[in-house]
Structure 1
Amino acid sequence: MNDITRVLFAAQDGDPTAFERFVQLTIDDVTRFCHYLGDRDHVEDLVQDTYLRALRGLHTFRGDNTAKSWLLTIARRSCADSINSQQRARRTELTRRHHTNHTTLVDTELLLDELPDDQRYAFVLTQLLGYRYGEAAAISDCAVGTIRSRVSRARAHLAHLITQAEQAG
């Protein structure tokens, strides 16, 4: 059992400072995760929402996976909720940028926004945050092969989007 998981179990057992320590140990990963997967203008709100959800659901942690995996699963859900409410606005913004700016400066964040949610999660976890495929599978609650497939499709989709952007410019 790793240190972060031990700290979370201590929080479950009523240690008054354990949850604060848990936040300190995990906040950098949660912030990066929310930055890549959520509404970038509201990263702090997504991080706060993640920890509020974790605190409310503290009793549900059973230790089947690491505490960090459990927390990033909560962060993924928080980001998904945010994405669902903001998706139309982003697509409108991408269309507006395409029509008003014909010089091609590929905006990585907008390209990531164009990936389907499952591909974006898998790509960000493995390629940008450096999680192994097994860890990403645990966070995403799916099989390792599914993560590999999603990353492969994300790469192909991103290559296609970059080619389109270059041809449009």
Structure 2
Amino acid sequence: MITPAPHTAFAVRTPDESTTAWALAARGGDAAAVDRFVRALHRDVRRYVAHLCADPQAVDDLAQDTFLRALGSLHGFEGRSSARSWLLAIARRAVVDSHRYAASRPRLSDVPDWQLVVERAQPGGLPGFDDGIALLDLLAALPDERREAFVLTQLLGLPYEEAAAVSDCPVGTVRSRVARARTTLVDLLAAADRPAVPAA
């Protein structure tokens, strides 16, 4: 008679457990694990960086920089936090470093109306494009700290404890920032839905 394996052998891993396991395997030199780790977290890193970064053209470069930094320091990752929160903390540092670099080197534009050129370069007419722009506009109205907390917890789905570790602040502060961000977003949506009152 064959004895069935213990139930724990069939336990399904959560996405965070899987990416953390791949990061640990990648640390040991497993090339397939590196590929899985990058593929699993690439979208989250891009979304997070896009919400932190003021330059949409820099998002791909910052995401790539994040993974280069992570792979270069993978030997120090011990799995005490999830690989996703560890990677998002690296992404945050990459964005901060890029802001510092940009502030120290002002860029000149040889186009008189550079904002119009940037707007025309953005893709339009795609399904959900208008909704995406509306969401970005609403999020842009939030203070930086509240926007970051909201994106980490509500859009990327990080637990509050991990969002606090990424943001380098107490859990209570993250909770407060998210609550205030929600209140602001609800107020902005309500104001947008109100019909305009014609001037007398």
Q: TM-score, normalised by structure 2?
A: 0.61
Which position in structure 1 is the counterpart of 2:76? 60
Which position in structure 2 is the counterpart of 1:45? 61
Of 147, 152, 157 in structure 2, the residue corresponding to residue 120 of structure 1 is 147
Letter in 2 for 1:7: W
Which position in structure 1 is the counterpart of 2:47? 32
Which position in structure 1 is the counterpart of 2:20? 5
Give the Cα–Cα distance (whole angstroms) in 2 for the partners of residues 157 and 79 of structure 1: 25
8 Å Cα contact 1:37-1:124 kept in structure 2 = no
Sequence identity percentage? 50
Of 138, 149, 166 in structure 1, the residue corresponding to residue 165 of structure 2 is 138
Letter in 2 for 1:119: R
Give 1:142 shift: 2.8
SS at match of 1:17: helix
Q: More helix per residue: 1 or 2?
A: 1
SS at match of 2:31: coil
Which position in structure 2 is the counterpart of 1:21? 36
Larger gyration radius, structure 1 or structure 2:
2
SS at match of 2:177: helix
8 Å Cα contact 2:146-2:177 kept in structure 1 = yes
8 Å Cα contact 1:47-1:75 kept in structure 2 = yes
Q: Which runs of 5+ in 1 are unaligned?
A: 94-105
Report 1 or 2 for greater relative contact order, CA contacts < 8 Å, sequence distance ≥ 6: 1
List aligned pairs for 1:144-155, cutoff 5 A: 144-155=171-182
Give 1:16 shift: 2.9
Give the Cα–Cα distance (whole angstroms) in 1 for the partners of residues 151 and 25 of structure 2: 30
List aligned pairs for 1:73-88, cutoff 5 A: 73-84=89-100, 85=102
Give the Cα–Cα distance (whole angstroms) in 2 for the partners of residues 108 and 66 of structure 1: 28
List aligned pairs for 1:91-110, cutoff 5 A: 108-110=135-137
Give 1:56 shift: 1.6
Give the Cα–Cα distance (whole angstroms) in 2 for the partners of residues 10 and 31 of structure 1: 23
Between stretches 7-16 and 129-138, larger displacement belongs to 129-138
8 Å Cα contact 2:85-2:158 kept in structure 1 = no
Cα-Cα RMSD? 3.2
Letter in 2 for 1:62: E
Count of residues in Structure 1 that have an aligned counterpart in Structure 2:
150
Q: TM-score, normalised by structure 1?
A: 0.70
